Amino acid sequence: MTTSFSDSYNIEFSAYDALGALDPILGIDTRLFIDPLLVKNTKIPEFQSAASKIEKYFESILTLLKASQKEKDIFWNQAFKNFKSSEISGLSIGYGKDNDGGGGIGKIKKLEILKNLKQILDAGTDDPTIFELIGGFQDGVGPDLISDLISNILIDDLITYTQRICLELKIPLTELNFSKSYEPQKLPKNLLNGKPVILVPKEFLRDLPIADSFMDIDWICKHNEQLRRYLNSVIEGSFKKITIKEQKGHIRKAIVDDPEFLKEILEAYRKQSPEYYNFSDDPKGETIWYEASKNYAKEYPLILQLSSQPTIDDIYKIVEKICEHFKVLIEDNQLCKLLYDKDGKRKPEAAAQLLFFGIANAYCLANNIDISPESDAGRGPVDFKFSSGSNSKVLVEVKLTSNSKLKKGFESQLPIYQKAEKSQKGIYLVIHNIEISDKRWEDFLKLTQNSGLSNLKMIDVDAIPKPSASVADE
């Protein structure tokens, strides 16, 4: 089962939220990231020296690389050792492989990053801020790496911050290990698995770091005529048609060939005003689903009954009932609003998956039914797995009609997942968030009706917002 950190300690969410910390959902990573630019603008007492710590850390790595004459000499090896990129267990943000943490990058990727930084250094740029823009020129590096770097640099501050928040909320602390590189620290315990929890200020978090926009090719070409001419000369057709890896390669070559160009980017980046994630509107659907799901489950209760030794058919009936109830909440009780932001823009598919998971989790909690998000079945992730015991499982996959792989998902994905999970039944939950052509929908319906998969059912949900009754009557 899944619960929030505040709920696990019976803390009122409003009291917890007033302190400004992210309320992690234990067992699920919130896909937001620590942005160094936001950290540098904070007034939180524990982080007043954060900006200088970040700069000094990056500066020390560059100093070692600059002194290095060749790979694996004493300076290079020390830079490699000091470059801490592992994901800290207990933060519950980013794309951790173990739900609550445990990702990071491997030695090969770290070596590649250092090689590219050395090349940029040798070209004449030694500004430590370049670390914050790594994702723009390094293939395979995203916002989670920068977030991991910053959390490693500021781990002592994050621990002190966590201790203060817990002290104010009277949450007990226990000596716990969060990393092999550190001594045990007094931290709150994840009551689901006994591991530590490290809290992060909400104001540090974004869906994508601001830095990404400064290494975006459109922004660069608007601000640098020389690079625009260079790209036009080496690339045939649209720059956007080449791979991300190729794009980053061209950007990397440009900043090595012209250090002045990189200085322009860094200066613009430093002058950028902080842009904070809107947790109230939650445009990516990463956090609002949890409280909303609890409130809907309380307002619209669903009575479920499961015997002590349920069969696969018993579990399927429960899952089907939850899916049909979710359909009613979306279509008739305004739950669909959480699939769009305040401007009516569609949120990503992950928002719909989390919303369904929240609703299902709330109803399963009282019925001793295990629900697991994104179970790894060997061939790829299944959105949800319901089970009671080890042999009775029902899989549910959530897809939006805006997803171009809607048909492919039904045709090939779930049957593969079912085989890998030794599951006998599945539900393909289709959520309409855009109007699709009659032909596309008819073709999809024919596929579901003629698939020959008797153990796989499709349920469609209309989540396209309807005008209010007063507007509809005008």
Backbone angles phi, psi at 386, to 5 degrees: -100, 140
The per-residue pLDDT for range 182-235, each reduced to its tens digit, is: 889 999 999 999 999 999 999 999 987 777 766 666 666 666 676 677 666 666
The per-residue pLDDT for range 425-454, each reduced to its tens digit, is: 889 999 999 988 888 999 999 988 887 777
pLDDT at residue 250, rounded to an integer? 76
Q: Provide the terminal-to-terminal Cα distance of the chain, rounded to the nearest Å.
A: 46
The per-residue pLDDT for range 82-128, each reduced to its tens digit, is: 988 777 889 989 865 444 444 556 788 889 899 989 988 988 888 99
Nearest by Cα to 131 from 211, 76, 213 = 211
How far are the Cα atoms of 4, 288, 343 from residue 352, in angstroms, in the given order? 19, 11, 17
pLDDT at residue 376, rounded to an integer? 44
Ramachandran category for residue 282: left, alpha or beta (phi over 0 → left; psi -120 to 50 → alpha)? left
DSSP 69-124: SSTTSHHHHHHHHH---PPPTT--BS--TTSSS-----HHHHHHHHHHHHHHHHTT
Query: CA neighbours within 13 Å on the CB side: how many for 58?
Result: 21
CA triple 271-274-275, angle to 5 deg = 135
DSSP 290-313: HHHHHHHHHHS-------SS--HH
pLDDT at residue 448, rounded to an integer? 87
Burial of 25 (0-12, 13-18, 19+ CB in 10 A): buried
| Token pair in block for residue 431 | 């959520």
One pLDDT digit (tens) per residue for the chain, 474 residues: 689 999 999 999 999 999 999 999 998 889 999 999 999 989 999 999 999 999 999 999 999 999 999 999 999 999 999 988 777 889 989 865 444 444 556 788 889 899 989 988 988 888 999 888 887 778 777 778 888 889 999 999 999 999 999 999 999 999 998 887 788 999 999 999 999 999 999 999 998 777 776 666 666 666 667 667 766 666 655 666 677 777 778 778 877 887 888 888 888 888 888 889 999 999 999 999 999 999 999 999 998 887 777 788 888 898 899 999 999 999 999 999 999 999 999 999 999 999 999 999 888 876 667 666 555 443 334 556 777 666 667 888 899 999 988 888 888 867 776 676 666 788 999 999 998 888 899 999 998 888 777 788 899 999 998 765 544 444
Q: Please give the Cα distance from 398 to 304 (Å, whole number).
A: 22
How far are the Cα atoms of 57, 277, 278, 280, 285 from residue 341, in angstroms, in the given order? 38, 13, 10, 10, 9
Nearest by Cα to 21 from 142, 161, 121 = 161
CA triple 215-259-111, angle to 5 deg = 70
pLDDT at residue 100, rounded to an integer? 45
Give the contacts of 148 (CB within 8 A, at least 6 positions apart): 85, 86, 87, 88, 94, 103, 104, 105
